[in-house]
Amino acid sequence: MPIKSFRVFGEPVDVLVDASMTEGKSSLLRQVSPPGGGPPPHWHKNEDETFYNVEGDFEVLMNGEWHKLAPGESAYAPRGSVHTFRNAGATDGTLLVFVTPGGFEDYLEEISVLSIPDDMPQLLAVSERYGITFIQ
């Protein structure tokens, strides 16, 4: 069972393990993305992310190139690297996202009330506080 759930950019995110459970070392999230879904390209100052495709047809952007991420495969995005993922399939897909250190779930929950493009200035301000930069 998730510890908490919310929607980020309209996509459901479940917090499966939060920073309080790991002494701040990591977090584990589950995200369900519709066809075409996924966040805008961005980079993190503080976190590394590992994406694991549970089901669906995903692609990840790493080092300026898109790569297929088949079910059962994973991809690692070290802090400082521009990255994102997208559901390239015709049905909903599910990713597990392992984040180190923990606490990224707090950022996602804070931005869960925001929408793009209406709340973009607020999204950018919150993101800056957390060390996350969106690439435009």
Tokens of 45: 């100052």
Q: Residue 35 and residue 134: Cα distance in Å, rounded? A: 21
The identity of residue 132, as a single letter, is I
| Amino acid sitting at position 113 | V
Closest to 120 measured CA to CA, from 2, 18, 40, 30: 40
**What burial letters (b/e) apply to 67-84, b meaning 16+ CB within 10 Å?**
eebeeeeebebeeeebbb
Q: Is pLDDT of 63 > 90?
A: no
Which H helix or E strand runs over 128? helix 120-129
Return the pLDDT at 2.
86
Local confidence band at 116 (pLDDT 50, 70, 90 cut-offs): confident
Write down the pTM of the prediction: 0.94
Single-letter residue type at 83: H
Asked whether residue 124 carries a pLDDT value surpassing 90, the answer given is yes
Tens digit of pLDDT for each residue in 85-110?
999 999 999 999 999 999 999 999 99
17 neighbors 28 (Cβ within 8 angstroms): yes
104, 18 Cβ separation under 8 angstroms: no
Q: Which one, of 90, 79, 109, lies nearest residue 37 by Cα?
A: 90
Least confident of 50-64, 65-79, 113-127: 113-127
